[in-house]
Amino acid sequence: MACWLGAALFFSVVVAPAAFGVLRSFALPNAGEIAGAIVNRSLGVVNVSGFVIGLIALLTGLLLRGSSSRGLWFVLQTTSLLILTVATAVGHWIIAARIHAVRTGSQVRIDQLAANDPTKILFDSLHGYSVQALGLAMIAALVALLAITRSFKN
């Protein structure tokens, strides 16, 4: 899970901004579309792997719970893992799927639409939800890691 958290953080802080920055520096007319495709594919890997890791950790924690499983740390760990799993699933199978539908349904590239265009507004809204879902998943993973570490100390 720590590796996933590092990968998600690296994606958010380095990969996504770099893809847009580098491609736009070449002044390509479709730079935003290419960068979006790169980011979308990378985010898919981050979300699906977060879902799988969260699900495995959640099931493992529930199956291997010991005498300390009734404590606050177990509840915090389980809740955080559930949030991680749900947030990455929603981010991938709901939000990203809707973003893809908006992109493919638009007659014009998203970055060429006016700021007040309904399609652009919808896309920007979905993008915001995607960022929030990944951010929530990352916070949940951090809390779960801390709770798991703390439960081993007890």
Checking if the pLDDT of 154 tops 70, the result is no
pLDDT tens-digit readout, 51-95: 999 999 999 999 987 655 668 889 999 999 999 999 999 999 999
Domain holding 20, by residue range, is: 2-153
Q: Enter the DSSP assignment of 113.
A: S
Checking if the pLDDT of 7 tops 70, the result is yes
Total of domains in the chain = 1
Question: Which of these, 64, 81, 49, 65, lies nearest to 146 by C-alpha position?
Answer: 81
pLDDT tens-digit readout, 14-24: 999 999 999 99
Q: Enter the DSSP assignment of 116.
A: T
Q: Which burial class, exposed, middle or buried, applies to 126 when counting CB atoms under 10 A from its CB (0-12, 13-18, 19+)?
A: buried
